A and B are shown apart, each in its own frame.
Chain A
Amino acid sequence: AQSVTQLGSHVSVSEGALVLLRCNYSSSVPPYLFWYVQYPNQGLQLLLKYTTGATLVKGINGFEAEFKKSETSFHLTKPSAHMSDAAEYFCAVSDWGGADGLTFGKGTHLIIQP
């Protein structure tokens, strides 16, 4: 069975500071990994995904994530936080076929301090 753990239900950073949202996964098969963002009262938007190949994945809005198999991690980073980044972020894992859809972490609420 797959699972995702997101460390920190709330993360607060200052505008312009580095954003680091942590995600660790458990999977019995090579995982496909995703980060989604949910802005208030909106649906889930795909930020980036890792399937195979390059372990550093670049996504939208300046975010990137690195797949580290040895650490079973897929942390999300952004060099400089912007006020508009305030949202809920979800890490998710699926197997190749996605037969069971996505397994999500509990989410991390990103707060940006002015």
Chain B
Amino acid sequence: DSGVTQTPKHLITATGQRVTLRCSPRSGDLSVYWYQQSLDQGLQFLIQYYNGEERAKGNILERFSAQQFPDLHSELNLSSLELGDSALYFCASGTTTEFGNTIYFGEGSWLTVV
């Protein structure tokens, strides 16, 4: 158990709809990362938040957005869903120390768009 909690574990929704994926980071971790894993794209970094502020952006579509709340949990919002958005979405958390930055992953949220 990595200590990173993601909900829901599985989600099936129709094209055009909007969903929200939730993530609770490990206790004490200030950074939250979102990744998308699909067969054709592999593991793609979407976005990072640090202590409530957006820190870095990767290959995140404009239809997607995220935020990190004061209690450090994060949500990834996916809207106007397309079939190609079907993927496993990972949340990860980490904290930078003098030993560097280690990132721990949650179990993922499986999104199926039909």
In the bound complex, what is the Cα–Cα distance between A97 and B45 (angstroms)? 16
29 contacts between A and B (CB under 8 A): A32-B101, A43-B2, A43-B105, A43-B107, A43-B108, A44-B92, A45-B2, A45-B105, A46-B2, A46-B103, A46-B104, A49-B100, A90-B43, A94-B103, A96-B96, A98-B31, A98-B94, A98-B100, A100-B45, A100-B48, A101-B33, A101-B35, A101-B45, A101-B48, A101-B92, A102-B45, A102-B103, A106-B42, A107-B42
A-side interface residues, number (CB < 8 Å)? 24
> Are the CB atoms of B96 and A101 closer together than 8 Å?
no
Interface residues of B in 84-114 (CB under 8 A from A): 90, 92, 94, 96, 99-108
What residue in chain A is nearest B102 (Cβ atoms)?
A49
Which residue of A42, A46, A49, A100 contacts B58 across the interface (Cβ within 8 Å)? A100
Interface size class of B (residues with CB under 8 A): 20 to 34
Q: Is A103 an interface residue (CB 8 A)?
A: yes
What residue in chain B is nearest A107 (Cβ atoms)?
B42
Contact flag A103-B31 (CB < 8 Å), given A43-B2, A46-B102, A51-B99: no
Which residue of B100, B103, B105, B107 contacts A96 across the interface (Cβ within 8 Å)? B100
What per-residue 1/0 map shows which CB atoms of A73-92 lie under 8 Å from chain B? 00000000000000000100
In the bound complex, what is the Cα–Cα distance between A99 and B2 (angstroms)? 21
In the bound complex, what is the Cα–Cα distance between A101 and B48 (angstroms)? 7
> Are the CB atoms of B56 and A100 closer together than 8 Å?
yes
Q: Is A104 an interface residue (CB 8 A)?
A: yes
Contact flag A103-B96 (CB < 8 Å), given A42-B107, A43-B2, A43-B107: no
